[in-house]
Every structure is written in structure tokens, then in C-alpha cells.
Amino acid sequence: MCEFIRGRNNGTEGGKPVFPVVNDPIKPGFVLEGGSFHCDGDGTVITTEECLLNPNRNPNLSKTEIEDLLKSNLGVTTVIWLPFGLYNDTDTNGHVDNFCCFLGPSHVCIAQSDDPDDPQRSITDEAIEVLTEAVDAKGRRFRITILPTPSKPLVLTEEEAGALKTSKSFVLRTPGERLAGSYVNFYFANSAIILPAFDDPNDQVAADILTDACKDRVVRSVHTRNLLIGGGNIHCQTQQVPVPGTWRGRRNGRKRVLEVVVMSGIKGLREKVEEEVGGRMEGREDVAVRFKHITAPFTKEHTKVIQNAEVILADPGLAVEVIGCARGVKWMQSTWAGVNVMFDCSKRRDYKLTRIAGVFGKQMAEYVLSYVLQRERALKAAEELQSSRTWDPKPFKEGRRRTNGLTMGILGCGDIGRAVAGACKSFDMRTVGFKRSVVGVSVPGFDSLHDEVEGVLEEADFVVNTLPSTKDTRGIMGGDTLKVCKRGPMLINVGRGDVIDEEDVIRALDEGWISEAVLDVFRIEPLPESSPLWTHPKVKITPHVSAVSLPGDVAEVFTENLELYVDGKGLKYEVKWEKGY
């Protein structure tokens, strides 16, 4: 908390301003750090809504009340509110001194990225729009000087992360995390500007711009990466230093309050996740978890909640709509196994993404075996005979096969593939699997492995795809690949729809390479009504339901990962951005 000395310039004495000092500090309860506002010395102050309206500052005060306090205690008459601070400046929740500051009355400088795809671009554009439409306390329009951000985003290295000393109150920093590096965080001396430098080509560009804009000062650059890693920069060092042991964000007594934003259409998830987390983490003395549940369509109020979220639990289909404004997110837990949409529809890669895994295997194994048994026990024929009131045992005897003489080919030997293999083994089926590298490798539940898809297809009576969608798996069964099948297998796809195009499925059926196709996933979902798959006599279609996200399963995986996250440990089922899954 900052306490301001009240007082205004009531005139001059000997040509020097007189500032009466009144021992009347601001009333306790108003949290305001020095870096959260910037004055021009001429009646105008600039700040950000992201910071001062954040619920971790003054939740009991409205925007108008905060503005009134700024005016009465800083001797200003005009408050300029910018929506956000620098991208990913979660240490301060968007301090304005790291993003935009006064170079003089009615003259500001502001940080902007040269990269049109950088999320900083839209943030700065919105701020410039506010400044362009505003006037200062004297009615003057603002002159705006653009300072570049570093030419490429600055990220924390493995070595730097490992060298940081941590404590229970330490804000977790992870390798690859984007740092809030900015040249705006400089210090004004009487005849100089002390400018941050990051060993970046834009160091000199920023220095030249400020030299031209502030001709009465000499610009001196200082390498400050160590300051940046700790949080903040040169200007921050001239401001208030927190009491040791305090934590960024809301606090409840001595606990850190971690707010989790939940966005999901899974019925019952809200109750399950709160119950699971409450039961597992209730006794912790270092953290208290608070949930905020929001649903589509997203409103402006939802955006304010999302932009400061550190942790998000969400359906990817919903999250992709707002991940661009979730500037403070460090980790998102998907409620789905598949996260392709986060790759396809968003360029964000500066946060940890984990998927649901370890819970879908049994469901998918049940799905696969249900179609195996339906075929081998002629259950479809049983329905048809019953509907026509016909007593005919022939369909159940002709072509009858025992499962212990059948081979299940499984593409993918991950947790789902292993679950399918284990279920097949309970029926004494032989199992062969496809895995990219099989040298010196054995996988539980598999009798043999192949590093080529064709090797599996040649042996299989049933072929199940469990592979994810990656650059290596897309189209892996397309073209003439299925021509090598020797036993006319049933193809069951529970992995991803882009391993084979629908045209290739139909061709394989019509050519007799495969006998049937059970399809739960498709390249385009929902499957268009015009697709010929709907009416093909040898195709069975289900709407991506071979496994569904059950609230209890999602809550269990999320809670386990939440404990690991709070403890600064590695997360389970983390997506590797570079691999695509």
C-alpha cells in the first residue's frame, strides 16, 4: 500500500513552487503501487484498467471512486485509462510504467511490437485509440512517440529458470515463458535517461528514438535482463519494494489465492471439480483456490476475467475464442484429449497446455469391442430377424469365428492403444501394433510391433486407429495404403479423422480392401449432410462419442495437475507444441 502526502502547489516563494506538506495520508485500504500510474506534472495522470481495476487491488472501490482518489491525492484533474499494460506483464497486472509513460506534458511514449502477429499489436493499437481521442488536463491532444519492443519476444531460458531461488511465495517461472521486456521502463534523471537494454537490435533503435524525442537528456543504455527475470526493470527499481514474502495477486491471510477460470459445456463439471479440488487441497497452508465459471457467448465482463487468468480449465472449442486475450495465462488444462483446435486456430504458444489422458482408454476399448462382437456374433442380423419375426439360425452359424483366432491391428501404442490391446487380450485375440520406433521396444498387451503401417494391415482382421493428428500421421492410411490388407478387415477409427480421407475409405470398401468401416471421427465435424459416408451400406457412423469427457474424470486429472502446478513440478499430459500433440 502506498500512502500519499496530500498537498497542492499554492503559489511560489522566491520564484520556487511552494508545496505545503500535510500529515494526512490516504486512508488505509487503497492499494496503489508507484508503477501503476504516471503523471505529467501538469494535471494529468495515466494508468491501466488491467491494474487498478483488477480485483486483487481494490475490489471494494469502483472505477469512479479510484479516479476520485487519484485526483484528490495526486493533485490532478484528468485521469487517462488505458485498457491494458504490456502483454504478459502478469507480475504487476499491467503496470503502466512498463508500457506507456510521459516524456513531457501532452507527450507520451508507448511500447509497440514490429511484428503484426504479436499479441502486443492489438493491445497497443487499442491504447493509441484511447490516447488519440483523449485530451490532457489543459485540453491538449497527445503527441505519441512509438518505442519498439525487442525485435523478438524475450523468453526465460532453462538455465535462468534453474538459477532462480524459490520459496513458497515465489511466482513460478518456467523455461520458455515470455518475459515482459520493454524499453518504456526507463528512468528519468535530471539530464539523462537510463534505458534498459536486452542485447537486441532494437536496443539502439529505442535509444535513438528517445535521443530525438528528449534532446535535453543524454540516453545511456544498461543491460538489465537480470532485473527483467526478477520482474520489472529500471523504473521499477525506483519504486516501492514489496515486503519480503508477499505474493503477486490476491491474498487471503498468508495464503496465495489462485483464481481458476472454468469454461466448459460438460454438465456437472463445476460441482465435480470444486468438490475434487476442495477435498485434495483444503488443508494446504500456502494456497487457496477460487473458481470463476463463465459460459459462452462471452461478454466484455468475461473478457476482463479471462485476461488476468493464470490458470484456465476449458473445452478447447471455447478456449480458442478467448485465448488471445488471456494475457496472464500460464497453464490451460483441456477438458478434451484432442487439442488440435488450439494449434489450428491460435498462434499462442507461450503457455503450458495439458490434455485429458489416462481416462479414455477403457471407454474406447468398450467401443471397439462392441463392434467386434456385433460383427462376430451377427447381432445386426439378430435385430433384423426379430423385426421380421423370423426364426433363422443360419446367419449365426455361417462364417462364425472364435475371437481367439483373430488379430487386432492397432495404430498407436499410447494409453488408448494399450487399453484396446488389453481388452482384446481378455478375448484371447492376437494384437499387433504400429509404433514409429520398435527397435528394442516392447509394449504391454502387444504380441508384436511394426514401424510401418503396412505391416499391421497385412496381418489384421480388425484395424483400429488411435493415432493423434500430427504432420506425420495425416493421410497415413490414404491413397492405396489399405490395398495391402489381406483379410478384409473392419476399419475402426477412434483416433483422428484426417488419417484418411472419406474418398479413400469409400474406395477401399468398394475395392474390397476392407469389409466395413466404423467411423467415430472425421476430417470435418460435424460430418456434412452431403457426405456419401452417411448412405454407404458398409459404413457405420457415430458422432465422435467413442469416449466422452466425464466430469469426474476431468476433475481428477485437473486436480492432480493443479497440485503439481502449485508445487512448481512438471505437469502430466503436457502438449509439446513443437510436436503438435
- What's the burial of 331, exposed, middle or buried (CB within 10 Å: 0-12/13-18/19+)? buried
Task: Name the residue among 407, 314, 423, 316 with its Cα closest to residue 361.
Answer: 423
Residue 260's identity, in one-letter code, is: V
Q: How many angstroms separate the CA atoms of 28 and 256, rounded?
A: 21
Place of cell 481378455: 426
Task: Provide the 10 A C-beta neighbour count for residue 316.
Answer: 23
φ/ψ of residue 454, rounded to 5: -60, -35
Which residues, 6+ apart, have CB-to-CB distance to 40 below 8 Å?
46, 102, 104, 105, 106, 136, 137
3-state secondary structure of 243: coil
Tell me what percent of the chain is helix, strand and coil, each rounded to the nearest 5: 30, 20, 50
Q: Give helix then strand counts, H and E, for the chain.
A: 18, 24
Cβ atoms 45, 74 nearer than 8 A:
yes
**Residues labelled as active-site residues:** 236
Render the burial of 154-172: b for 16+ CB within 10 Å, e for the rest: bebeeebbeeeeeeeeeeb
Q: How many angstroms separate the CA atoms of 554 and 548, rounded?
A: 10
Q: How many angstroms separate the CA atoms of 468 and 498, rounded?
A: 9
Chain mean position to CA 211: 39
Compute the CA torsion angle 28, 32, 33, 34 (nearest 10 deg). Answer: -110
Q: Got the DSSP string for 468-486? A: ---TTTTTTT-TTGGGG-S
